[in-house]
Amino acid sequence: MRDDNAMRLLHDRRSVPAAALLPPGPTAEQLRDILATAIRVPDHGKLVPWRLLAFSGDAGRRYGEALAELHLRLDPGVPAAKLTKDRERFAHSPVVVAVVARINDANPKVPAQEQLLSAGCLAFNLLLATQAAGFAAQWLTGWSCYDRAAADLLGLAADERAIAYIHIGSRGTEPPERNRPALDDVLGTWAG
């Protein structure tokens, strides 16, 4: 049976730029509900190859400061504008949730790619659950998702890496619709 509300939610999903997200963010109870919904993703082998870290209140600003300090240590010539971006990146949104992938490369049954895809599904499901709960969100990455020293700032284990920062808050203005590909430009058929 078709669920028109769910179809409309999926069809109308748009990211709101993190810098445009406003308070209030979800309450602790609302966030738990959003996260409990978001973790219902495909997970071959029931490995749970992911976990979540939430930043709220002053934590985002402190993490941004730590990232800026790390960036300067890693690259003493980094432009001041990039350091400012590092400092402010996590301070705009009322809540930021880091999606952390835990990949077991030696798993004999579940390839690393499937584990990573499960974590990616969690990040996207988090966007959808946030919108369904009446909030707005944006999925961002940035250099810190690809840097081991930044992973250490988050206390991540050797087999873990941040794959997404989901910024969550209230929608200020409606973001403009972006150009989407035409279905016929991306859909093919296999003829055998």
| Helix ranges (DSSP H) in 21-133 | 28-38, 59-74, 80-88, 112-132
Identify which of 53, 50, 31 has the alpha carbon closest to the alpha carbon of residue 39: 50
pLDDT of residue 92: 87
Instruction: Say if 73 falls within a structural domain.
Output: no
99-133 core/surface letters (b: 16 or more CB in 10 A; e: else): bbbbbeeeeeebeeebbbbbbbbbbbbbbbbbbbe
Q: Is 70 part of any domain?
A: no
**pLDDT, mean of residues 73-90:** 94
Q: What's the pLDDT at 161?
A: 97
pLDDT exceeds cutoff 90 at 104: yes
User: For residue 175, is pLDDT > 90?
Assistant: no
Question: 176 pLDDT band (50/70/90 cuts)?
Answer: confident
CATH of the domain at 43: 3.40.109.10
Q: Which of 98, 87, 81, 94 is nearest to 139 (CA)?
A: 98
**Of 12, 43, 15, the residue nearest 126 (C-alpha):** 15
pLDDT of residue 173: 79
> At residue 103, does pLDDT exceed 90?
yes
Strands 136-140 and 160-169: antiparallel
> Cα–Cα distance between 131 and 28 in angstroms, integer?
16
Token representation of residue 163: 């794959």
124-170 pLDDT, tens per residue? 999 999 999 999 999 999 999 999 999 999 999 999 999 999 999 99
The pTM assigned to this predicted structure is 0.94
Gap between the terminal Cα atoms of the chain:
32
For the chain, how many structural domains are there in total? Answer: 1
pLDDT of the residue at 174: 80
Q: Is there a domain that residue 51 lies in? A: yes
Q: Which residues contact 120 (CB under 8 A, 6 or more apart)?
A: 163, 164
Query: pLDDT per residue over 8-18, tens digit each?
Result: 989 988 999 99
Q: What is the DSSP letter of 177?
A: P
Quote the CA–CA distance of 166 and 131 in Å, as a whole number. Answer: 12
Average pLDDT of every residue of the chain: 95
Residue span of the structural domain in which 156 resides: 16-55+93-173
- Determine, yes or no, domain membership for 144: yes
